[in-house]
Structure 1
């Protein structure tokens, strides 16, 4: 009875290390680890011990006899990986984390950003005795995109926060939440207070299309839309006009699929999740019946992952159709094209909401007086360059799609970090192995760009922390000036650690209050969606406690 990975998992390798027979790949150090869409269990060598299920923080592993009908395709998917990627070496893997013998004296590190990258960086640091990690974030709540980016109908994925709670419970860990670097304190302040600073601030903005009409009302970024339905304090009180039968999402990555699912989901099902109450009310009144996802290139180049496509195909009360299939594309070319070809052959059911995966189509311009009324698109054809890359070129002629909501989902982009160099082309901070300079390091999307999955940040953080510890051991880090953190211009004489920061106990008070409100409604939690209510929930805890 082999176990099966049943979706895009967090890929943090916990299950790999737990497996006694090394049957889960790609493993750390192997080609594809941290870039593969998911991990895979070899059905021929799995010994049915169940150790992987205990280690997995998001319950992605199941015995094959417990798979639902929607999960059955993952059985073949796991097996196919080993047919195409044989692993001759079956030596059981035993990985013992390296523990540093650090120079005398406590090492204090500031981690800026409380999302997965920042928390994995803190975890890597705290594996070594004598290290203190203080995690800063401008929001009153931690977990970044794990809290405000994962779709509310993906509650299993959000179980990774259990792992984060374990990390934040370690000795030497503390939070300084609700503190923004660049506003309340500076990069220099952090360096005075700590031996080193790790920036794990992610990619907070989205890429633009650069087409006419992009700034009309009804045109927005999928990034902001996701933040809206997840109750992010920055966007929770936005308003979207859903009084339109068709919505268009430009892009076809996993975020685009998330948006399409939420727009077409049964509101009664969403009401059992942690979706924002404001968004739920808007979706209950929504007139959206069709969501079209536009991809400039073809099905073979689609950006979404196969597990997310399988999840979409398994939805029972929403039609999923495919348009724009290249004449020369073999449906059996890949697992992804095989599934897309089966979706293309489906017969629509009258009266259902519909998601259309439309390929070989590029946006031209948005039209309307003050609000979006239509999107003009053009067909494209694929061109392969000498280096093998595939581009989509317009073929001429246009078509008009009537719509009142257009969401661009063409990628994230990081903002410059005050005091650090910035590569405008790649929207990352230049570094070597995570080291910007001795004492300053980066991890996560600000380091490598918006690629990978939640667990990818673990490997990324490990590399950066190794560089930091190398510098500390070599004496390249300046000693902090205790109590010498800089002052803010708004509050002279207030140290960086006293800037109305919320600590771990405050976050736990918020978490308890949200969960209690959710329990009363049969939901995982009811989120507080503005800074004032979040701080009120934490008022019983002294603000400066960690």
Structure 2
């Protein structure tokens, strides 16, 4: 019998477990560990609460999770409750599918000012992640600045712009919904260092900005390249730039009823954040593309800012005893292999790139490598205790393990607690989650 430990219960973790089942059938036992009592990682705490169709992919993972040879082991922190070395003694392979849950820092003066947040924290706040429940962003000011030109920046801008009624059908948590309903924001600036042709925003998400009740997008026509230049773009990118062109063409008469403006500010990089204890101004350096390279022009300007959310990327959490690539912000690995018996998959392997679906082929590829390593003798296939050995350790240390069937009870309680029109009301405290399992 082969025993695998997968650290992380998000898409990469469950796709890898599915691949292991297809590879070895009944001759495999997989334990999927997570530090939270609830599964699904990014699906639960990263995907925007008003994108419920995307969250529906979790139903696929449930088929794997309820299999006899796959077990969810929630509320266990690797490196604290049990060490990596202990897992290596128990399992034939340990696979890190921990994602990239930490914000990449801006690394500029003033980053420690109040009301300055990374997107992992801010998105975690409105998605009910226990780590960020008490974030309490101040939304009483008029000006918000979002740094970054990807879909996460769009998510943050859209969530900040919506009315309470527009959140019907979403699973945004109550504390965030109430705070957003009381928001006094009037101007949201999405700041990007490059131009319209370099955005990493997809057409669907950009199009949503044009359908908001109280907000309207703005693009300065002078920032747009000649329309003929769009011909060199990939079809999806060309469609995204088409949305920007349509935003630029909105007549001022149609903007009159909007109480919030979402302004795209291209060719600018934040150099410093200023304020007395709390963010008040973002100093921006103007940039331009010269010979395909981004350079600063030397010109500076100030953006008024009462709230700043940085959406410039993520980093994996280091784990004691596991080689880490500080520059890339992920585990040091060679195509998923870290050390003999240690592997990584998904964002923990390649960094925060690709879509949720990208993790499926990634999971199957790493299982193929593990199978090859077992076949070649590089990986020990001798007798291992697997979950029986872990359960013995857990009992000795009084670890309060949460299983997938426990999670289903938590999920049922969240659904019963839902406000009208919402699919669930998430528990935002670990203690509440554990209590709800009965």
Higher RCO structure (Cα 8 Å, ≥6 apart): 2
Aligned length: 423
1:174 and 2:47 equivalent? no
Q: Which residue of 2 aligns with 1:379?
A: 286
What do the CA deviations read for 1:431-456 (whole angstroms, capped 9, x no partner)? 33322233211101110111000000
Distance 1:424 1:329, change over 3 A: farther
Q: Which residue of 1 aligns with 2:171?
A: 274
2:163/2:213 contact within 8 Å kept: no
Counterpart pick for 1:500 among 400, 425, 435 = 400
Q: 1:288-303, aligned counterparts within 5 Å?
A: 288-303=185-200
Equivalent-residue separation in structure 1 for 2:384 and 2:229 (angstroms)? 63
Q: Which residue of 2 aligns with 1:410?
A: 312
Q: 1:258-337, aligned counterparts within 5 Å?
A: 258-315=155-212, 317-323=214-220, 325-326=222-223, 329-330=226-227, 333=230, 334=233, 335=238, 336-337=240-241
1:293/1:357 contact within 8 Å kept: yes
Q: 1:234-249, aligned counterparts within 5 Å?
A: 234-249=131-146
My pick for the range that moved more, 329-338 or 407-416, is 329-338
Equivalent-residue separation in structure 1 for 2:226 and 2:280 (angstroms)? 34
Equivalent-residue separation in structure 1 for 2:383 and 2:305 (angstroms)? 57
Q: CA deviation at 1:499?
A: 2.0
Q: Which residue of 1 aligns with 2:382?
A: 479
Q: CA deviation at 1:326?
A: 4.4
Q: Which residue of 2 aligns with 1:109?
A: 4
2:8/2:33 contact within 8 Å kept: yes
Matched residue of 2:284: which SS? Answer: strand
Equivalent-residue separation in structure 2 for 1:486 and 1:268 (angstroms)? 47
1:160 and 2:57 equivalent? yes
Q: How large is the Cα RMSD of the aligned pairs?
A: 2.0
Q: Which residue of 2 aligns with 1:343?
A: 247
Gaps of 5+ in 1: 1-105, 385-389, 541-546
My pick for the range that moved more, 343-352 or 509-518, is 343-352
1:528 and 2:430 equivalent? no
1:200/1:443 contact within 8 Å kept: yes
Gaps of 5+ in 2: none
2:48/2:127 contact within 8 Å kept: yes
Matched residue of 1:238: which SS? Answer: coil
Equivalent-residue separation in structure 2 for 1:181 and 1:301 (angstroms)? 38
TM-score, with length taken from structure 2: 0.92
Q: CA deviation at 1:487?
A: 8.6
Distance 1:408 1:447, change over 3 A: same
Q: Which residue of 1 aligns with 2:128?
A: 231
What do the CA deviations read for 1:367-394 (whole angstroms, capped 9, x no partner)? 111111121223211123xxxxx43322
Q: CA deviation at 1:529?
A: 0.4
Q: CA deviation at 1:120?
A: 0.6
Q: CA deviation at 1:328?
A: 5.0
Matched residue of 2:331: which SS? Answer: coil
Q: Which residue of 1 aligns with 2:31?
A: 134
My pick for the range that moved more, 418-427 or 146-155, is 418-427
Distance 1:325 1:465, change over 3 A: farther
2:92/2:384 contact within 8 Å kept: no
1:107/1:195 contact within 8 Å kept: yes
Matched residue of 1:135: which SS? Answer: strand
Q: Which residue of 2 aligns with 1:55?
A: none
Equivalent-residue separation in structure 2 for 1:324 and 1:192 (angstroms)? 62
Equivalent-residue separation in structure 2 for 1:271 and 1:330 (angstroms)? 38
Q: CA deviation at 1:182?
A: 0.4
TM-score, with length taken from structure 1: 0.74
Equivalent-residue separation in structure 1 for 2:79 and 2:358 (angstroms)? 27
Distance 1:510 1:328, change over 3 A: closer
Distance 1:400 1:324, change over 3 A: farther
